[in-house]
Amino acid sequence: MDELEKIINEFRDERDWRQFHNEKDLAISISLEASELLELFQWKSSEETVQTKRSEIEDELADVFIYSIMLYSNLNLNIEEIILNKLKKNNEKYPIGKSKGNKQKYTEL
């Protein structure tokens, strides 16, 4: 991830783009790229899209990662740490005993 972060920052610095990359617009951008990914599944079953749109999924998912990496880089976050932290919280919200094989939200468990 550190290597990817470095490459992505080089990409935007070569273009002098950090001046535009405030965190609010980065959050908008992550949401827009997530929508482009989701659009591949519009009116289709999961299988249908996975079988016919693999390279498009790769591109759109990559864009979600690129903007997400830019955002944590802007904020100097340690991404491994915040993911492990969040998994710990999810572990408390969704204890194995209650949530095994159960897709309910924790508010409905």
Residues that bind a copy of itself (CB under 8 A): 1, 4, 7-8, 11, 14-17, 19-20, 22-25, 27-32, 34-46, 49-50, 54, 57-59, 61-66, 68, 71-72, 75, 77, 79-80, 82-87, 89-91, 94, 96, 99-103
Q: How far is the CB of 15 from a copy of itself (least distance, A)?
A: 5
Q: How far is the CB of 25 from a copy of itself (least distance, A)?
A: 5
Residue ranges of alpha helices (H) inside 40-105 are: 46-52, 54-74, 79-93, 96-99
